[in-house]
Amino acid sequence: MKFFIDTANLEDIIKANKIGVLSGVTTNPSLVAKEGVKFEDRIEEICQSVPEVESVSAEVTPDAVTAKEMIAQAEELIKINGGDDKITIKLPMTIDGLEACRYLSKKGVKTNVTLIFTVNQALLAARAGATYVSPFSGRLDDISEDGVQLVSKIAELFRVHQLDAQIIAASVRHPDHVTRVALVGAHIANIPYSVIDQLSKHPLTDEGLEKFATDWKKSI
């Protein structure tokens, strides 16, 4: 399983990339708004800061509601950073979003269909040509449903029907979530920097380091 970082914060993106675990970046309107920056500028800055990643998701804005409006925005977004092929157009899971997905994928543009909460939505997105589908597992857990089970079912369905779309387990909130979505077959976990940081930690690692440091002082 690969890691995408879910943020529009440049510092966090650069920190995650430095440790060599980053395959992509996803943003959404809420994450960009939090940074108080111009959307297109930040997408370009991200592409330039982490040129080695496979995908940088740029979401069509909420005022693009029809397929035509989404496609018009996508056509501008893909020009960012000189037509960089890592720019992935993030589209909402709606009938218009699917129509835009089909159009863009036929043109060879990478797409990420977002806000997926059912297996059938994932199936539709994959059939519409999505490069990535994003089930929001954490948000299902938030309402006492089983988000990991959704990822597991989508993975099984894609295996049975040999569908190529990659599953991005999105809104992943904690390390156990990461392990579980990896084990059920998510291709990618989409996580904030705070979760990447948590993944590197264990109390016994800290305790072991302290003991080595104490013992080392005694020996010199």
What is the C-alpha to C-alpha distance for residues 88 and 174, in angstroms, rounded to an integer?
Answer: 25
Shortest separation between residue 136's beta carbon and ligand E4P, angstroms:
6
Shortest separation between residue 107's beta carbon and ligand E4P, angstroms:
22
Binding site for ligand E4P (CB under 6 A): 6, 26, 28, 114, 134, 136, 138-139, 170-171, 190
Catalytic residue among 18, 90, 106, 217: 90
What is the C-alpha to C-alpha distance for residues 135 and 127, in angstroms, rounded to an integer?
Answer: 15
Quickly count: other Cβ atoms within 10 Å of residue 48's Cβ.
Answer: 11
Residue 43's SS3 state is helix
Nearer to ligand E4P, 97 or 138 (CB): 138
Nearer to ligand E4P, 61 or 212 (CB): 61
DSSP 165: P
Rg of the chain on CA atoms, in Å: 19
Structure tokens at 77: 């977004």
Residue nearest to ligand E4P (CB): 171
Shortest separation between residue 139's beta carbon and ligand E4P, angstroms:
5
3-state helix, strand, coil in the chain (%, to 5): 55, 20, 30
Nearer to ligand E4P, 145 or 210 (CB): 145
Nearer to ligand E4P, 3 or 136 (CB): 136
Active site residue 18: no
* CA proximity to 166, closest of 137, 132, 135, 124: 132
What is the C-alpha to C-alpha distance for residues 118 and 124, in angstroms, rounded to an integer?
Answer: 10
Shortest separation between residue 46's beta carbon and ligand E4P, angstroms:
14
What is the C-alpha to C-alpha distance for residues 47 and 41, in angstroms, rounded to an integer?
Answer: 10
Shortest separation between residue 141's beta carbon and ligand E4P, angstroms:
10
β-pair partners for 90: 59, 112
Nearer to ligand E4P, 34 or 211 (CB): 34
The residues that are catalytic are 90
